[in-house]
Chain A
Amino acid sequence: MTPRIELRTSPHVVQGGSVEQIMLHVVLALLPIAAFSVWQYGLSALASLVTVTLACIGSERLFNRLAGKPGTLTDWSATITGLLLALSLPPAFPLWMGAVAGFVAIALGKALFGGIGYNVMNPALVGRAFVQAAFPVAITTWIPAFAPQRFSEFAPTTFTAPLMQPPDISAWAKQALDGFTGATPLASWKFDNVLTTPTDFLTGAVTASAGETSAILILLSGGYLAARGFLDWRIPAAILGSAALAALLFQWLDPARYPDPLFVLLSGGLMLGAVFMASDMATSPVTPKGVWIYGALIGVITVMIRYFGGLTEGVMYAILIGNALTPLIDQVTQPKLFGQTRGKRA
């Protein structure tokens, strides 16, 4: 009997999860949302999703090659970044700008820090923040949902020539769908004090970024991920809860001026951001207590920006601020050591 004996260190059994598995499931959970977005906005949204995702994957590959690192595409994280980024952009965002956003997301948001796990902020949001600053007009140019010809023609902005500004599409949009104003629900509320009804939100008949309107799908997908342990449910719970509480407080203070909490939860990118972006593991706290603080901060900051800021939407900056505060939050919420009495630090 001369067996080849393997020497391993304990523990000799493992649970069997892996980074690839987590990321793959996030991708799968994003697919229904992407599909809904395509059904809602048609060919333009599809082209944007594909272009942005490919830009992220290509950039990831490029930076791995430059750094001489083995490929990390199998971990699916670049795919997640691409999908999330595309879902957070206007459906008819010019494709070349989408590609820039994807490149910046991976370059500045991820590769600069050393790749997966080392990034400080959510790469998709870094990319979006960049194009928000670089292309302020394009990122607030919306197309109508459920336009009749959405599967037969692209929006005129989609194929804007690289380095060119997109054409004005207000005339095209008006002709595409009668009565289209080009304003998001948040903008309508902020500037015209017109509230979108919850029914419109739930059917998706609103003007928004590609993946923002399907609240039910987002919650279903998020629920699946949370149930499988691939997503910390505390983060969306804390964000949505604190945003609703803050909205409730303001509505109580001045019901005429401030909208109801349901509007706050359903409008803009809050749902998508809370479930899929803020919950990014690498950029959220690791301690159970810290996660609540992080989520609560994001929810409150979102409402503050929406109510008192110059922008109509604040989810992106709120999450980026939360990301930036994560190391600090982790630092002050270290778990209580077994046997240590409360309030006394050894």
Chain B
Amino acid sequence: MKQGIPFHLKPRSDESLFTPHPNGKRMFSFFHRHTFARGVHPDAHKSTAGSPIRRMPFASRMILPLAQHIGKPAVPLVRAGEEVVRGQPIAKADGFLSVPIHAPADGVIEAIELKASARGPWVESIVLRVYEASTQQVGWSQPCDIDNASPRDIIQAIQDSGMVGLGGATFPSHAKLTVPAEHKIHTLIVNGCECEPYLTCDHRLMLEYPADLMIGTRLAMRAIGAERAIIGVEDNKLDAVEAIRRCLPADGRITVQVVPTKYPQGAEKMLIKSLLGVEVPPGKLPMHVGVVVNNVGTLAQLGQLLPAGVGLTERVVTVTGPGINKPGDYWVPIGTPMRTVLEWAGVRDVDAREIILGGPMMGQAVASLDVPVTKGVSGILVFDKLHVEAERKIWPCIKCGECVKVCPMGLNPSMLGMLAARREYEAMGAAYHLGDCFECGCCTYVCPSHIPLVQQFRVAKGILRSKSA
């Protein structure tokens, strides 16, 4: 290891103690303390982890919102009636914090109009009618000599690929890998925790595309000038750890570390704490402690896209839940309407159901089946009538303190909830650090009074934002 890494952030020397046991059980698990404090252990339900990723065919009509990422919406490059080929940019980035959008299939642009979005409001979207003869062939690419590219060129290539954080954050990847000069990055952390129940898309990507993950990790390391990369994987995915280990480069700059299975292990700040033992200060970014965190799915996809010079047109989505007949991980073209995905995966016909984008802890329920799969959709969960949590009676807070015992950020959700009930939003923000809540949902998960704490916090944050604006 070179000198650039601060002493206290050196790799854990005792890693060999915790290497996976041949029969799958971790040895010396009693001593395994490398994790963040508090958190919860929801049932995993990762039944789809055992079967390979399948490909989903093209829908007859795709919907591509111009704002699938955090930042300014993309600007359309096409007009209605224009023919496009798979992989062709159909909208370009509007400034630095923005990414382009590529056509997911050969077809003709039907319209650019307002369409329903997962979050509710109708948003400007490009509607593509797909030719029935459209093939998997990518008809457009912009190859560059990525092996000899400068960090700046790599970052440009990442922006051109339209890549965003595929874990669900949808923050443009090139922006995340652009580090201001005052920060020196020593470690790239690759997040393979996938701590949300049900989701297995990252697990399958690690199993099936470890070589691409290495390429993507190396490119990201070069872009940020990191000396090493640590891939953090929860200990319920030891087969993925094994698959990655087989592909690790000989120079030892990329390592894989097993972390305990605990929600929210995959939250950036929690994973940094688990792997390096440092806490990112409140209101600060990982780069303040010399770290950049990227999702394994994002880097594995980058490893596929950048050498070929093509854009992001599809992603792996876990389609699962009790209401699905053919649960599994699917390569889904971006823009595929939810209805098509669910019909393909076989939705059981039942009365009431809940459809969730993302995982069950932080995912969002959607009201319409006409919304498309966008870049940030990691999973589609369908709960049937039996599994939708029944409307539960809300009791007053009995101050049991369970929420305090599980909040990974060290907040006092009980107090925050009581302040929210009294509408004392300023006190929530100023004295009780509401801004540090990242809405992981642990407090609501354990609350015996069934108080919708996270929702109260979202509302309070919104009110505080609108007041300060």
Contacts and interface: CB of A to CB of B under 8 A. Distances in A.
Interface string A9-32: 111111101110110000000000
A50 interface: no
Nearest to B270: A338
A339 B282 contact: yes
Contacts of B449: 18-19, 117
B281 A335 contact: no
B433 interface: yes
A337 interface: yes
A40 B440 CA distance: 52
A19 B395 contact: yes
A282 interface: yes
B437 to A, nearest CB: 10
Contact of A10 (B273, B361, B392, B405): B361
Most buried by B among A1, A15, A75: A15
Nearest to B404: A286
Main SS of the interface on chain A? loop
A241 interface: no
A181 interface: no
B4 interface: no
B400 interface: yes
Interface in A49-80: 75
A9 B369 CA distance: 17
A10 B445 CA distance: 9
A228 B184 CA distance: 48
B444 interface: yes
B444 A11 contact: yes
A334 to B, nearest CB: 6
Contact of A232 (B280, B352, B401): B401
Interface residues of B, number: 74
A287 B404 CA distance: 7
A288 B445 contact: no
Contact of B446 (A15, A284, A339): A15
B199 to A, nearest CB: 12
Nearest to B358: A10
A1 to B, nearest CB: 7
Contact of B396 (A9, A13, A117, A284): A117
Contacts of B349: 1, 3
Contacts of A163: none
Contacts of B351: 3-4
Contact of B361 (A4, A11, A338): A11
Main SS of the interface on chain B? loop
B77 interface: no
B136 interface: no
A117 B417 CA distance: 13
A6 B400 contact: no
Interface stretch (B14-22, B241-249, B381-389): B381-389
Given A288-B405, A335-B407, A21 B279 contact: no
B347 A1 contact: yes
Contacts of A10: 356, 360-365, 439, 441, 454
B399 interface: yes
A115 interface: yes
B460 interface: no
Interface in A269-302: 281-288, 291
Interface string B429-455: 000110010010100111111101011
A5 B399 contact: no
A8 B446 contact: no
A346 B431 CA distance: 9
Most buried by B among A6, A14, A21, A338: A338
B141 interface: no
Contacts of B410: 335-338, 340
Given A13-B197, A14-B444, A337 B360 contact: no
Contacts of A9: 365, 452, 454-455, 458
Contact of A281 (B367, B399, B433, B454): B399
Given A8-B388, A10-B454, A19 B282 contact: no
Given A281-B401, A288-B405, A6 B354 contact: yes
B343 interface: yes
B444 A1 contact: no
B461 to A, nearest CB: 13
A7 interface: yes
A11 B362 contact: yes
A121 to B, nearest CB: 13
Contacts of A116: 395-396, 398
A3 B279 CA distance: 45
Nearest to B263: A11
Contacts of A340: 279, 281-282, 410
A284 B282 contact: no
A252 interface: no
A339 B269 contact: yes
B290 interface: no
A117 B397 contact: yes
A284 B399 CA distance: 8
A4 B353 contact: yes
A135 interface: no
A18 B390 CA distance: 13
11 contacts: A3-B349, A9-B452, A13-B445, A18-B449, A22-B448, A117-B397, A284-B399, A335-B404, A335-B410, A337-B282, A340-B281
The 5 closest A-B pairs by CB, nearest first: A117-B396, A11-B441, A286-B401, A339-B279, A12-B360
Given A14-B450, A335-B411, 15 more contacts: A5-B368, A6-B388, A7-B365, A10-B439, A12-B354, A14-B392, A15-B40, A18-B395, A281-B400, A286-B401, A335-B407, A337-B409, A338-B282, A339-B284, A341-B281
